[in-house]
Every structure is written in C-alpha cells, then in structure tokens.
Amino acid sequence: MSQAQLEAIVVEPKVPATACVIWLHGLGDSGAGFAPVVPALGLPTDHAIRFIFPHAPEQAVTINGGFVMRSWYDIKSMDLHDRADIDGVLASEARVKALIKAQMESGIASENIILAGFSQGGVMSLFTGLRLQNKLAGIMALSCYLPSGDKLPEQLSEVNKGTPILQHHGEQDDVVPMFAGKMAHDALLGAGYKSVWQTYPMPHSVLPNQLIDIGCWISQRLINH
C-alpha cells in the first residue's frame, strides 16, 4: 500500500493554530463521523487548536465477509490476541506519522499535538503514540484495545513514557468488550505509563457529557498547560 498523505477534514480555529488534535475514526466510518464533535467539546471560543479528522484507506475487512470499507487495518478474527492485522497496523502507523510530521513542518511542535482515536482509530492512536519518537501532548484512546491484547507494542519509545493517556470505554460495549480496554489499561499501568481510565453507561459510542470531559482533558494538555 502506498503511504500517500491521508485525505482529511480539517477544522481550523478562529485564530492561527498553535496546537493540533489528530482524531482517528473507527471501522467503516470516515473523518466526517467525528468532525462535528468540535463544538460539543466546550473549548474556549478563542482556542488555537486545529482538529484533523483523517479518512482511513478503503480495504477488504475479513470479519465483515471481505466487504471493502474504510479501515486502518484488517480484522481477521474476534480473538483479542489476533484481532489486528499487524502489517496493516504498521502501514497505517506510517500514514499517521506522516500526518504528525506535516503538522510539525507547518510550525506546530509535537509537544502541542494530541493523537486521539475511537475504536480501531484508538488502537492506532495507542500503537503509534507509544512508539513515536516525537514527544506528544497526549494520547486519547476511546473504546479500544491493544493490537496484541494484553501486551504493549514492540519498539516502545521512551519519549512518550510520561505522556498523559486518556482511556474511555462504554460499560455496555458489545463491539469492543470493556475488559479489552481494561486489559490495555492494566498493561500500560504495569509498564509505568500515566493512563487514566474512565467508563460511561453507553454502548460502542460517545456521549455528550463524555465529550465535555474530553474537552476538559484537551484544554489541560493544550491550553492551560
């Protein structure tokens, strides 16, 4: 697969951007799925955060009968230890790293970039952020898991060892069971990462009050730091 720059929906702030949130969508969705959440985050009207909602490439997904859809990687089985096709994960990691690099080249320091994602996008934000050689402001992983189940990725970067990680999960999630997210959280804590775990009474989705909590967390990382 070529590593061409991902197409994305970009939501610019009213003032020149000095920070950035790159938010990766879930399986079968697109950047348009989360782009409308920006006003719901409750950020100050004069914030200087650019939001980027990239579209995953289209590919066949084994677990969905080979149906072609937007996907960061193929899902071959429901087994948590063998769910993510690692070659696909690595290909998408390269694309996400290219997005981060482009923001840095535009003048935004990596320390002012949050890498966020929901479901499959959250898997990618965790995997990429933990291995990234550039210091991030934060990593947000919503309703997701680690590609290798209860094990952290290989070739971890020490640079983001102290980077704040936010993990949210729905208590009625029937797509990614809550124990899968908790397994990832336990692995992160066990390795000394600063991860905060919070659950909500919801299925595989996001809630309005959760978005307010996310907005507060983003503000702490990119505005009030």
Catalytic positions, written as ranges: 119, 173, 204
Asked if 208 and 38 touch (Cβ cutoff 8 Å), the reply is no
Residue type for 70, please?
Answer: R
What CA–CA distance (Å, rounded) separates 222 from 43?
Answer: 11
Please tell me whether residue 66 adopts helix, strand or coil conformation. Answer: coil
Alpha-carbon radius of gyration of the chain? 16
62 Cβ contact list (under 8 Å, min separation 6): 74, 75, 76, 77
Q: Which of 133, 131, 147 is nearest to 183 (CA)?
A: 147
Asked if 159 and 133 touch (Cβ cutoff 8 Å), the reply is yes
Asked if 193 and 161 touch (Cβ cutoff 8 Å), the reply is yes
In sequence order, what E strands does the chain have?
8-11, 19-24, 49-54, 58-61, 67-70, 113-118, 138-142, 165-170, 195-200
